[in-house]
Amino acid sequence: MLALQGDFAAHAAAFRDLDVSVREVRRVAELEGVAGLVIPGGESTTLLNLMADEPWFEALRRFHEEGGVLAGTCAGAILLAREVRPRQPSLALLDAIVERNAYGRQVDSFEASVDAPSLGGPLAAVFIRAPRFRALWPGVDVLARLDGEPVLVQQGRVVAATFHPELTRDRALHRYLLGLAEKGPRAAAGPLRASA
């Protein structure tokens, strides 16, 4: 769990509901032994400022190259995209164009059920100043849609959601991410499930 900014505590609680050991990563060196990392929602420009203190971009790209699973929700999805509108730096690990705050201001926030057949059916989702996927390249799979529009996508070991799954009681997406991390090459670094 990238714990620099945003609602990382709610994501950590969601994984703990699944009996998963969670590490809150605040320094690049703490990526050692991690199989999967969630970049939580929050404010993308604030997150970028906080990441400037260490070589996060290089470290996260290397983490991905070495088989780590990266998931981003809301601001995290923005950070993963190849292109961001309005323009800002990003990791460019997901072949997508993302528009920031595309659903409107804070007062325009809403909760909805999204169509997610890949995750077993409808998924509860909270949209807060959410971004939108404006374009997806071939090779990016849509895992969930809202009114026909992609809101959850995957490209290899990169998963991005424009919503906040951690703010609901639905753990389907966290369970899916856990499955990816357990199958990934970095899973050998240590157990993902908490021991009894």
* Residues classed as catalytic: 74, 164, 166
Give kind and range of the element (H or E) at residue 36. strand 36-39
DSSP states along 96-136: EEEETTTT-SGGG-EEEEEB-GGGTS-EEEEESS--EEEEE
Quote the distance between the C-alpha of residue 107 and its chain's center.
23
Whether cis (ω within 30° of 0) applies to the bond prior to 122 is no
Nearest of 54, 42, 47 to residue 8 by alpha carbon: 42
Nearest of 66, 174, 69 to residue 119 by alpha carbon: 174
Quote the distance between the C-alpha of residue 117 and its chain's center.
19
| Whole-number Å distance between alpha carbons of 101 and 183 | 33
The answer to whether the CB of 1 falls within 8 A of the CB of 37 is: yes
74: its two tokens:
């809301």
- Total H helices, total E strands in the chain: 5, 10
